[in-house]
A and B are shown apart, each in its own frame.
Chain A
């Protein structure tokens, strides 16, 4: 069975601080995909990144970066120099093929001015 654990239920930071959201996953599959989604108060899930299990390269996109470590089954997400607009619930998700997503319970990030 697949499982995604986001141990941090809520994180509160002050604007411009860096913040890391943790994600640990469990799967028996050798081929799988990992995702991060953002859910602002409007409710729509916004896709941020997808990684496949064969690609452990870390990725940076602007202020966002992701650290995938297969050895620890972790896929952590860092926001550098956080901004108020980053306030949202962030979900980590795992997918095998044929691609149903298993989500974690989410981390509520609040960035205060």
Chain B
């Protein structure tokens, strides 16, 4: 399968714990994006990378959130000291450059209890 891969698919964590999600983009795609989707809403942009450089971060990305893309390949999204409001689907997407469509992974559903 050469699509965007996300791991894990589901994560249940206790409030205050740290969690980390991984995204493996399509191999030739230099851009990688993170979005968050809450129930009944459209996805909201969090951040994106071009190769290993993080070029933009949304105001939604509080100080508890950090994303990395070492070596311009896979990316990780870490949430520290999780809160119940962090419960959502976290979607990763990748694209070949700025002018091409983004392809999405199946997402990681986070539940904070």
- A: residues with CB less than 8 A from B are 4, 33, 35, 37, 42-47, 50, 91, 93, 97-106
Contact = CB atoms under 8 A, between A and B. Distances in A.
Contact of B98 (A4, A99, A106): A99
B59 interface: no
Interface of B: 31, 33, 35, 40-45, 48, 50, 55-56, 89, 91, 93, 95, 98-107, 109
Q: Tell me the dominant secondary structure on chain B's binding face.
A: strand
Contacts of B95: 99
B42 A99 contact: no
A97 B56 CA distance: 12
A102 B48 CA distance: 13
Contacts, number: 60
A47 B102 contact: yes
A50 B95 CA distance: 13
Given A44-B106, A97-B98, A103 B55 contact: no
B106 A101 contact: no
B103 A47 contact: yes
Contacts of A102: 45
Given A44-B105, A45-B43, A100 B56 contact: yes
A103 B45 CA distance: 9
Contacts of B109: 43
